[in-house]
Structure formats: structure tokens, C-alpha cells
Amino acid sequence: MSKPSLLILLAAPRGFCAGVDRAIKIVELALERFGAPVYVRHEIVHNRHVVEELEGKGAIFVEELDEVPDDVPVVFSAHGVPKNIPAEADRRKLMYVDATCPLVSKVHREVEHHDRTGYHILMIGHAGHPEVIGTMGQVADGAITLIESEEDAETVQPKDPANLAYVTQTTLSVDDTAGIVEILTRRFPHIHGPRKEDICYATTNRQESVKAIAERCDRLLVIGAPNSSNSRRLVEVSEKQGVPSRLVQKAAEIDWEWLKGVTTIGITAGASAPEVLVQEVISALSEHYDVRLEEVETAREAVTFKIPAALRDSAA
């Protein structure tokens, strides 16, 4: 019995970004330099496959610094941490390496600058996300107000509307964020925004690649973790294009009933999902369908970030 035909439109770019590559490499180099165990505060990136691979090499993941014993190295995740975390590590004389994505660090510097200038800061982002917690933790409590939606943007009542600035989480929906920014700039014409867009290049590129393939797809699979903000935004982007989309962490999570009757499927991966998971999904589809693969490239990425100086000898 012949298998039904299936065209797979493979989004490019997809998967790992430069910040994720750097963060994973930092943990691997720390293990090489210091030996196991190396502790990591929070998942280094939001992907269980990556975390489990690093655990197998000797990394131990914890949620808080008080779970880290004395006299062992600790790495801070790519999402960034509040200022009190490195301060506490210094107090305890812990050896630590900061794997915060440089594009998140850029937002931290913006927040500090706005605070020094005397502006109240509005942060567009999702409550509870580690990047938001880290960014808001760069300044004193009350210096930042979180804006999660257009409704928040319409109803926020700052004490001094003439002295405002805004920043954004780096992994948001480009379109949704533009709507919120439009409301804020309408309500507060003198609000100061970032000189360069806070949403990172990889988030933007992956959303644009989904838009490019969505018009040709019956369904779209996003490979990524449920706690990955940028992966969840890819699902939303697809749905807004009218294409049913599902987030899966690996091939075993594919809902075959959901794919019944489908002739064209799109595949992409969030910025913290490794390519091995993409290939695993394609292999699983090949077992059920006569697959034809077409890669649709909308941008080429050549961004790299430096490894922290403390680990550069190991990287040589």
C-alpha cells in the first residue's frame, strides 16, 4: 500500500540563534575548564533536549542560587538575571559565568540608562518569564511597569506621563508588539523608545519565515518547548495567518490524527531547539508519508557573539 504524498515546507532560518549557541558553549567550556559539576541557574535555554544533554556532561540545573553549594562554578542562563543574583554570588565568593544573551544585556543597559535619566519605564513582555524578571530586576522595585497587552497599554496610568520610556522582551511577536507600541506612542507622544528594535533578529527572522510558508501550508509544526516564548510566538504567527499550528518538543508528540488529509505541512523550530529535533520530525513524517522536502529561505544569519573572557582559553 503506497503512502500518501506530503510536501514539507522547511522554514529557514530556524532553530538555534547566536545567543543560544553561545550559552550552550559557555556551559560546555565551563565543564571543560572547571570539571563537573558545573551548576546552572535556571535552564540555560528553554529546551529539554539541550538541558538533558548538558546534564549528561555534568551540568546541574537549579532554579535559585541558594541551591548552589559553595566552591563550585555557576552559570547564569541566556535569559538574564536580576542584579541581586550576581551580587549574592559575589557575596558568597562564587565563581560565576554570565551566559546572558548580549541582545538581552542591551535591553538591561537601556533600562539602566532610562532609570538614571529619570524616566519611568514601561516594559512590554510576559509576566513571569525569566527574561522579564531579569530585566525588571536591573532597577529598583517600582521603576518599571509591565505591559502585557494592548489593553494594558490603553489603561496604564503613569504618575508622570511626560517622562516615560519603553523597552521590550526580545522574544515577542513583532506584530503584537507593534500594536502595543502604537498605543503607547499615541497616548504618550514623548515616550522614549529603543534606538534599535529590542526584539532580537532571530525572533524577527523566524516569524518572517513562518509568514512566508504559511500561505502554502495546511498545517504547521513548531518544534520547541512549551516554556519557550519565541516558539510559542511562532505558533501564534501561524494561527494569525489562518494556518492551524501545533507546538511539539519532539517527533513523539506529533498528533497523527491532526494531520489526516494534509498534503502540505510547514516545519520550523524555535531559537532554542536544535536541528537534530527538526530532522527527527522529518524522519517520523517520512515513515507515514511519501515526503518531498522544500526549504524556504527568507534570510541568512551570520551573527556570532564572543565567549566571556574567563572561558576564552578553553575555546581556543
The residue annotated as part of the active site, out of 88, 131, 154, 275, is 131
Query: C-alpha 237: how far from its chain's center?
Result: 15
Contact between residue 58 and residue 29 where contact means Cβ atoms under 8 Å apart? no
Classify the phi-psi angles of 261: left when phi > 0, otherwise alpha if psi is within -120 to 50, otherwise beta: left
Binding-site residue ranges: 17, 46, 79, 101, 129, 170, 200, 228-230, 272
Burial of 299-315, coded b for 16+ CB within 10 Å and e otherwise, reads eeeeeebebbebbeebe
Whole-angstrom Cα distance, residue 57 to residue 52? 9
* Largest pairwise CA distance in the chain: 71
Asked about 295 being catalytic, the answer comes back as no
Count of C-beta atoms within a 10 Å radius of residue 173: 20
268 strand-pairing partners: 222
Binding-site residue ranges for dimethylallyl diphosphate: 46, 79, 129, 228-230, 272
Binding-site residue ranges for [4Fe-4S] cluster: 17, 101, 200
Binding-site residue ranges for isopentenyl diphosphate: 46, 79, 129, 228-230, 272
Whole-angstrom Cα distance, residue 108 to residue 139? 9
The closest of 149, 151, 108, 148 to 129, measured between CA atoms, is 148
Residues assigned a catalytic role: 131
